[in-house]
Amino acid sequence: MTTAETAWAEAMKFDNRADPYPFFDELRKTPVARVAHDTYVVTGYRELMALAHDPRISSDISRSPLRAQPAAAPEPAAGADHLRAYGRVQSIIMSDPPDHDRARRQVMRHFGPPHSPDVIPKMEPDIQRLCNELLDNAKANGETRLDVVNDYAYPVPVAVICKILGVPLKDEPTFHGWIFDFMAGLDLGPEAATEEGQARAQKGRESTAALNRYMAELIEGYLREPGEGLLSKLVNDDGPDGPMSPKEATANAMLLLVAGHDSTVNTISHCVLMLLRNPESFDLVRRRPELIPRAIEEVQRLQSAVQFFPSRSATADIEIGGTIIPKGAAVHLMYGAANRDPARFPDPNHFEPERRDNEHFGWGSGIHTCMGGPLARLEVNLALETFLRRVENPRLVVDPPPYRQSQVFRGPRHLLVDFDLISD
């Protein structure tokens, strides 16, 4: 194994999920490094910025070597099957222009300005109420310990995205498990090949299929009888791009539901984790809540909720950072790694809520930049502000906390916090 291959394997290993960053630093010695046959990872800031905007890089999974291999192929690439299941019909995140642009326009018409400027701001009272209710409940139960992931970070965004999309919140217990399994099954590390890993992948595939069926039925329902929410509007649209086909809408509905809350959960959890790990910053941000938006960006820089999205590949030989990425190779843009490039961010591993020049890749970059960013920022802001204001003297119980399996959608599985009391 080359040094880069070893560093990559370590970075992807479950044992290193809490802190893969030293291995990314090692990888960055070659900012664009070959880590496997046909797989290149990008950890340099400049190089990532260039490739995220390079029209020779495709996000279309069907063009990637990570796509499903022919049955005869000896060893399917890690995660391949799974991604295919995720993208049976290509969702926005796994498609290229012009289809990508058209689909993104169709969705954004019902989600943001200029056509729907109020959708996100209108959620503010709901988000605030939810945050307060969760803390009220903990208070009423006389608790002094909170699992920030399950008891606080998860319930808020899932309720919000359900309302925006028009997914019945009563079905949450059903799809929660599916999404969890789907995430756990998306493993690009060495554990994917183990028996356990194979089982997780199998379960992930089944759950993805189940989620797909659920979404397809929901959308069929909205076709028969239009209702509230983005999904119904998407398939019944009379806008310039017309309605989205039910199949494509199903694929995108899964994307929007999953991406619409999961990364937000991870970001809220990581915000609490990072502030509790840095007491001076905790005091500072608590004293000056106007710093919260910047603190969130700094957490997103350091702990990018989507560490990379493994559907990209090169459509031509691309020379960059002293490496030639050959045509057809998979290209992983490692946001979380490039965000710690010392050539771009002074003292890159330091958590600095007042960092000014902070143009990080935590929300991606280029045409696939997170479309839910404005919603996520609102949710994380309110959740963090409420937490800081109401939870007295919070302390980490376990550090590092246990992490979830996925390297891509990286976040704590639980985050236990002890506190003195919850104020009003």
Partner 1 sequence: MIVGASLAGLRAAEALRDEGFRGPLTIIGDEPHEPYDRPPLSKQVLTGWVPADHTKLPRTRAVDADWRLGVAATGLDRANKQVLLANGDTVPYDRLLIATGTRARPWFNAAEGALDGVFTLRTCDDAALLQAALKARPGRVLIVGSGFIGSEMASVCCELGLPVTVAERAEAPLVGPLGGVIGEIAAKMQHDAGVDLRTGVSVEALEGDADGHVQRARLSDGTTLDVDVVVASLGSIRNVEWLDSAGLATGFWGVGCDAGCRAFDINGVVTDTIFVAGDIARAPHVLYEYEFLSLEHWDNAVSGAEVAAHNMVSLETTRRPHLPLPSFWSGQFGVNIKGVGVCSFGDEIVFTQGSIEDRRFAAAYGRRGRIVGAVTLDHGKWLPYYAAVIERSAPCPPPPPGYDQPKDMQPLPARFPDPRVPTEIPDVVLTGHDPTSRGAEFISKRR
| Counts of helices then strands in the chain (DSSP H, E) | 16, 12
Residue among 56, 88, 129, 294 that touches partner 1 (CB under 8 A): 56
By CB under 8 A, is residue 346 in contact with partner 1?
no
Nearer to partner 1, 267 or 365 (CB): 365
Tell whether residue 324 is a contact of partner 1 (CB under 8 A).
no
> What are the b/e assignments for 142-180, b being 16+ CB within 10 Å?
eeeebbbbebbbbbbbbbbbbbbbbbeeeebeebeebbb
Q: Which is nearer to partner 1, 199 or 316 (CB)?
A: 316
- Binding to partner 1 by residue 151, rule CB under 8 A? no
- Site for partner 1 (CB under 8 A): how many residues? 22
Under the binding rule (CB under 8 A), the answer on residue 369 touching partner 1 is: yes
Mind giving me the DSSP string for 113-182?
A: TTT-TTTTGGGHHHHHHHHHHHHHHHHHTT-SEEEIIIIIITHHHHHHHHHHHT--GGGHHHHHHHHHHH
**Contact with partner 1 (CB under 8 A) among 367, 374, 389, 396:** 367
Q: Nearer Cβ to partner 1, position 163 or 294?
A: 294
Q: Indicate if the alpha-carbon torsion angle 371, 377, 379, 380 is positive or negative.
A: positive
Q: What secondary structure letter does DSSP report for 409? A: B
Which residues are 59's β-sheet partners?
none
Closest distance to partner 1 from the beta carbon of 185 (Å): 29
Our finding on whether 49 is near partner 1 (CB under 8 A) is yes
Q: How far is CA 257 from CA 101, 134, 160, 251, in A?
A: 20, 22, 10, 10
* Nearest CB to partner 1, comparing residues 58 and 212: 58
Instruction: State in angstroms the smallest separation of the CB of 117 from partner 1.
Output: 12
CB of residue 424 to partner 1, shortest distance in Å: 34
Terminal C-alpha separation, the chain: 57
Distance of closest approach, residue 183 Cβ to partner 1, in angstroms: 28
Q: Amino acid letter at 89?
A: V
The pair of three-digit structure tokens given for residue 105, joined into one six-digit string: 């326009």
The span from the CA of 349 to the CA of 352, in Å, is 9
Q: How far is the CB of 159 from partner 1 (least distance, A)?
A: 31
Residue 27 CB, shortest distance to partner 1, in Å, is 22
Residue nearer to partner 1 on the CB measure, 349 or 369: 369
- Say which residue the tokens 């809540």 belong to: 289
Q: Between 55 and 121, name the residue whose CB sits nearer to partner 1.
A: 55
Closest to partner 1 by CB, 290 or 424: 290
CA dihedral 213, 219, 224, 229 (to 10 degrees): 150
Q: How far is CA 47 from the centre of its chain?
A: 21
Q: Tell me which of 50, 108, 209, 284 binds partner 1, using CB under 8 A.
A: 50
CB 352, min distance to partner 1, A:
17
Q: Does 89 bind partner 1 (CB under 8 A)?
A: no
Return residues touching partner 1 (CB under 8 A).
Answer: 49-50, 52-58, 60, 63, 96-98, 101, 314-316, 365-367, 369
